[in-house]
A and B are shown apart, each in its own frame.
Chain A
Amino acid sequence: MKDKLQEIKKEATKRLNEATVLNEIEKIRVNFLGKKGEVTAVLRNMGKLSKEERPIVGQLANKIRQEIEKSIKEKKAVLEKEIEKKKIQAEKIDVTLPGKKRGLGKVHPITKTLEDIEKVFLGMGYLIAEGPEVEYDEYNFEALNIPKDHPARDDQDTFYVNDNIVLRTHTSPVQIRVMKETKPPIKIICPGRVYRSDTVDATHSPIFHQVEGLVVDENVTMGDLIGTLKEFAKGVFGEDTKIRLRPHHFPFTEPSAEVDVSCWNCHGKGCRVCKNEGWVEILGAGMVHPKVLESAGIDSSKYSGFAFGLGVERITMGKYNIDDMRHLFENDIRFLKQF
């Protein structure tokens, strides 16, 4: 019997070693350990043995049973692992195929520029003020020291609704409205849509967008204006951007300046963007004219202030090298996708 058991074990081990699939293992288990299995049969025939032999064979049979069970378990684990491995291998995909996209849209490049500018000024403690586009002539011109006969009115080619109402030519009337309603300190930027009677072409549009800024407080200096514009230029055009001021004339500021930034494209070396100047003109600025303060009800002997204004389309076109202003209002998806 002992021999028989040893043989059974040998046979079982052999078959286990040869097995390659899981149900074979199950067969082996049934063959050897099942109710009608060989080890079971041995145990069943134990009665035929002598009293002395019985415990020895019994022990051996149990031991062999356990050993076979263990081998089965191990083999099963090995096979399962292999199967899992094969399955994983079969799951291989081509990671270079394109990804599935939900398809995001994008904001318009004008919005992008506006957001860039707003971020800088929000960070410096400015509020964003808004006002009507169809505006009183008085707010658009007269309160800004541009009386009815002022030559500057010729430059601005204004759309009129009637003698007293215009499509605002700049967002300055918002400044007037805020000054009339708020006590200093005032720190605002005024983004918005403005209108000038220009025919549409590659560089002109009768409708465009501006951001103007206004600060009114005690002891505001021209140095403050320059410092502020410097921060603005760095924030919008990059840390190493420099600014240059050129004296100019605006009726609503005194002193007035046109402001250039060092070319973002060539960093001042000269290129197509800056027409080889190294500088690009981007805004007008100055100290708020005392008449403007007074017409908005602010005591110009106590308060001073600065203001600046810039064209959003121009900056957008410059920054991204957009060749034609008309693209900005055409809304071709292939254009909008790029920003």
Chain B
Amino acid sequence: MKAPMKWLKDYVDIDVSAKEYADLMTLSGSKTEGVEKLYSEVKNVVTGKILKISNHPNADKLVVCKVDVGDEILQIVTGADNISEGDFVPVALAGASLPGGMKIKKGKLRGETSNGMLCSLGELGLTKYDYPHAIEDGIFILDKEYKLGVNILDALDLRDEVVEYEITSNRADCFSIRGLALESAVTLGKEYKDVQINVKEEANERTEKYIKVNVEEKELCPKYSARICKDIKIEPSPEWMRKRLKACGVRPINNIVDITNYVMLEFGQPMHAFDIEYIEGNCINVRLAEENDIFTTLDDEERKLNNNNLVIADEKKAIALAGVMGGANSEINNDTKMIVFESANFNASSVRKTAKQVGLRTESSSRFDKDLDVNYVIPALNRACQLVEELNAGTVLKGIVESEGKDEKRNIIEFNPKDINDFLGTDISKEFMEKTLTALKFEIRKDEVVVPTFRKDVVGFQDLAEEIARFYDYNNIEPTLLKGKETTVGRKNRKQEIRDIIRQVMTAEGFYESYTFSFGSPKIYEKLMIDKEDAVVIRNPLGEDYSIMRTTTYNEMLESLSVNYNRSIEEAMLFELSNVYKPIENSDLPKEIERLTIGGYGEIDFYSIKGAVTELFNSLGIINYDFDPIEEKGMHPGRTAKISINNEKVGVIGQIHPEVSENYEVKRETFVGYINIKSLVENAQLEPEYEILPKFPSVNRDIAVVIDKKILAKEIEKVIRNNAGQFLEKVELFDVYEGDQLDDDKKSIAYSLFFRAKDKTLNEEEINKDMDIIIDKLKKELGATLR
């Protein structure tokens, strides 16, 4: 909502600068978003009088003018053809600047000196709506004589400052100059001077003679009122009104339309004017539209209606879309002689739905949808008629035709200053409370506060507390810390602690944490070469690419790797903690499964990722984990492992199938993996178990065997462990060799075995015995030969 300072000052004496005023208003709860100085880009433009016009010696289309600008006479060359000697015009002097950054300099035009520029409307940031007597493609000829050499902004009284307000949905009353003026008065501690409404009703006829009102939908239209004016002379509204409308961002049109807009801005009550000539049957019906009725609104757009849309209709047809926009069929035009003013209250929700459905959000609908006070209706109607009289635009008929509306109920709230102070943590005096509430037009009755109908948002004592606190200034409330009876302990729960450990380990392992979007495209399954999954579908997505809640995190991980790869970054290792979303049958909310996702390319291989995961398990005290070969769609068939803890699958790591890497334009071996957080939470052993340090030395034996390539290291280790006897403490792989010295289907694999007894130093024989068994079993079970 734009509020011009000059207009506000009609209601309240604002004696601080616009900037200070805006800051004070923000701190009392009317949020301002800036102050615009009107026409501030127009500099050094003055009033001038054209004394003489002569032909340009070198150009047919130019003329040379002698222009009196008060203290001197300038020669100015112009191409305009709408000027005459004796005209008063705006003159941009050398050094002037104009909207859009244009600067005026002395110069020569086709050889003739030109010491300035005669300005058009547009060059000053004006339009023909601001000065209807002027034309747009020519010099702006002023409508009367002005003192010469006076700054044009002063001569035309164009200077003003406009404060832009953000109006919250609870404050329909502040969607008006009057409402903001009342807030201003209380903020500044000044008197609020309301407008005096007085209609003379000079016509002899009565309104009822021409119109009757019938409201079919009383719920949707709690109040409808109308007045009639005759002998209408359609003309531009006066300059002062046009300026105010423009400052508020409303285009002036003609006196009658301008009056409806002016009253809307002043009272916050949208109004409409119909040309009575087009109202058939002398009646106004407020009813629902016919299904599929086509209605042309004032902006000449055809709107398809349905039977939930409230319309204003005459005997035969709709003439306005209630609370949204009038119809082209009953529009005020230059020949209009008699008008009906409508001032009504419409149901907020109904207006919002209609506006949304027809895709038309207007100044009117955005006020109605905030739930306006029914008690605005009659004063606004009278105010419009008063303006018709003041502007000599016509004569007002006697009486108002109105529907039987119910009156707004005034909220009554118990007034207990102690409760309010206890709630705020303050010690505000009862006098301050009463003074503030009274100034806001609340009525204090002993132990009760009666709320004015335009403040429907105030219903409980908390609301009263807010009214008082915002004028006391929130920042004057003394900061305290909670003084509850029970203490609370702040700590992370197990899952949150585990997330911290995951982050520590993964970053220590060289991975960077990534954040990605959790919705994506249904096309990713194809891109990832995996089976399509059921997903949670967003009904109103930002586009297909963001339309399903993800069921896998690989797509975003690969996108991130791709970003890095395509920016020529040598290596990228990422991890992410985030959810996948799986719809479950017979449940309305999906299952949100949190995962650790890892991914990378660069100087890494499968074992880098596996190593990181193993470190993670170690840090979480998880022992019983396994990595086993697995074939998964979209993954490299020979380089993918299932991760399990206690024989339950908890995740996968591996190399992305090269074709999939290609789909993401990463032309290197790319590794990804995921682990479900839930299983980590279930299996983590966060309290370490201490084991007494050994008292006796360990004995180390190395063993190297040649064995079939297909046999997994895990199987070899299993044979060693199963047959090593009680003393084997540790098995460490130290070499794997495949190559020239071996058959093609063989590999050599070497382990260090560590033996230790708790209670003695082991002797050679004991170990030799164990080693013999191990070697024997490796031969028999796996066909291994000693190397």
Partner of B482, one of A104, A136, A224: A224
Return the contact of B510 from the options A105, A133, A187, A222 (Cβ within 8 A). Answer: A105
How distant is the Cα of A132 from the Cα of B590 in the complex, in angstroms? 9
Taken together as a complex, chains A and B put the C-alpha atoms of A124 and B210 apart, in Å, by 72
| Min CB–CB distance B430 → chain A (angstroms) | 18
B493 proximal to A (CB < 8 A):
yes
Interface string of A219-248 (1 = CB under 8 A from B): 111111011101100000000000011111
B761: interface (CB < 8 Å): no
* B40 sits at the interface (CB 8 A): no
B670: min CB distance to chain A, Å: 14
Most buried by A among B28, B487, B589: B589
Q: Is the CB of A207 within 8 A of B517?
A: yes
Q: Which one of A223, A247, A331 contacts B564 once the chains associate, using CB atoms below 8 Å?
A: A331
Q: Are B516 and A329 in contact (CB under 8 A)?
A: yes
What is the 8 Å Cβ interface bit string for chain B, positions 569-601, against chain A (1 contact, 0 not)?
101111100110100000011101000000000
Hey, which chain A residues are within 8 Å of B475, CB to CB? Answer: 244-245
A127 to B426, CA, bound (A): 28
A143-155 toward B: CB 8 Å interface, digit per residue (1/0)? 0000001111011
Across the interface, name the chain B residue whose C-beta is closest to A129: B493
Closest residue on chain A to residue B581 by CB atoms: A134
Q: Which one of A160, A246, A258 has the highest number of Cβ atoms from chain B below 10 Å of its Cβ?
A: A246
A111 touches B503 (CB 8 A): yes
Q: Quick check: is A19 within 8 A (CB to CB) of the other chain?
A: no
Measured between beta carbons, the chain B residues less than 8 angstroms from A185 are 484-486, 488
Tell me the complex Cα distance, A124–B488, Å: 8
Known: A106-B513, A151-B352, A331-B512. A222 touches B469 (CB 8 A): yes
| Binary contact readout A133-172 vs B (1 if CB under 8 angstroms, 0 otherwise) | 1111000000000000111101100011110110100000
Contact of A133 with B482 at beta-carbon distance under 8 Å, contacts A164-B588, A221-B425, A304-B423 already known: no
Collect the chain B residues with CB atoms within 8 Å of residue A107's CB: 503, 507, 513
Contacts of A223 in B (CB 8 A): 424-426, 477-480
For the complex, give the distance between the alpha carbons of A220 and B482 in Å: 7
Expressed in whole angstroms, the Cα–Cα distance for A5 and B509 within the complex equals: 73
Q: Dominant SS at the B interface?
A: loop
Measured CA separation A102–B536 after assembly (Å) = 42
- Interface residue count on the A side (C-beta < 8 Å): 83
- Judge if B44 is at the interface, Cβ distance under 8 Å: no
Contact of B493 (CB < 8 Å), options: A123, A128, A134: A128
Interfacial chain A residues near B409, Cβ < 8 Å: none
Among A246, A287, A330, A337, which residue has its beta carbon within 8 angstroms of that of B462? A287
Does B203 sit at the interface, judged by CB under 8 A? no
> Which residues between 69 and 102 of chain A lie within 8 Å of chain B, taking CB atoms?
102
Q: Using Cβ atoms and an 8 Å threshold, which residues of chain B touch A159?
A: 538-541
- Contact, CB under 8 Å: B514 / A336: yes
Q: Are B466 and A254 in contact (CB under 8 A)?
A: yes
| Among B169, B474, B539, B546, contact of A161 (Cβ-Cβ < 8 Å) | B539
* Across-interface contacts of A251 in B (CB, < 8 A): 170
Q: Is B132 an interface residue, CB under 8 A from the partner? A: no
Chain A neighbourhood of B26, CB < 8 A:
246
- Verify if B55 is at the interface (C-beta below 8 Å from A): no
Q: Given A223-B425, A255-B465, check contact A105 B589 (CB 8 Å).
A: no
Q: Which of A105, A121, A247 contacts B474 (CB 8 A)?
A: A247
B348 within 8 A of partner (CB): yes
- The answer to whether A125 has its CB under 8 Å from any CB of chain B is yes
- The chain A residue sitting closest to B489, CB to CB, is A125
Q: How far is the CB of B517 from chain A (nearest CB, A)?
A: 5
**A323 close to chain B: CB less than 8 A:** no
Cα A258 to Cα B33 with chains together (Å): 14
Complex Cα–Cα for A193 and B577 (A): 12
Q: Name the B residues within 8 Å of A246 (CB-CB).
A: 26-27, 29, 31, 474
Interface centre among B511, B515, B546 (most CB of A within 10 A): B515
Mark interface residues in A110-121 (1 if CB within 8 Å of B CB, else 0): 110000001001
As a 0/1 sequence over residues 505 to 545 of chain B, the CB contacts with chain A under 8 angstroms (1 = contact) are 01111111111111100000000000000001111111000
The reply to whether the CB of B429 lies closer than 8 angstroms to some CB of chain A is: no
CB-CB under 8 A for A249 and B170, given A122-B492, A136-B589, A289-B462: yes
A249 touching B171 by the CB < 8 A rule? yes
Cβ of B369 within 8 Å of any chain A Cβ, yes or no, is yes
Q: How far is the CA of A249 from the CA of B463 in the complex (A)?
A: 11
Q: For B370, what are the chain A residues with a Cβ–Cβ distance below 8 Å? A: 151
Is the CB of B787 closer than 8 A to any CB of chain A? Answer: no
A106 CB contacts on chain B under 8 angstroms: 507, 512-513
Task: Identify the B interface with A (CB < 8 A).
Answer: 26-29, 31, 168-171, 348-349, 352, 369-370, 422-426, 460, 462-463, 465-466, 469-470, 474-475, 477-493, 496, 503, 506-519, 536-542, 546, 549, 560, 563-564, 567, 569, 571-575, 578-579, 581, 588-590, 592
Give the B-binding residues of A (Cβ under 8 A).
Answer: 102-108, 110-111, 118, 121-128, 132-136, 149-152, 154-155, 159-162, 164-165, 167, 185, 187, 193, 195, 197, 199, 206-207, 215, 217-224, 226-228, 230-231, 244-249, 251, 254-258, 287, 289-290, 304, 328-334, 336-337
Minimum-distance CB pairs A-B, first 5: A223-B425, A221-B425, A247-B29, A255-B466, A227-B479
Besides A107-B513, A127-B490, 5 more A-B contacts (Cβ < 8 Å) are A122-B490, A126-B490, A128-B493, A155-B169, A332-B564
Q: List 5 A-B contacts (CB under 8 A).
A: A133-B518, A133-B592, A165-B588, A254-B462, A257-B474
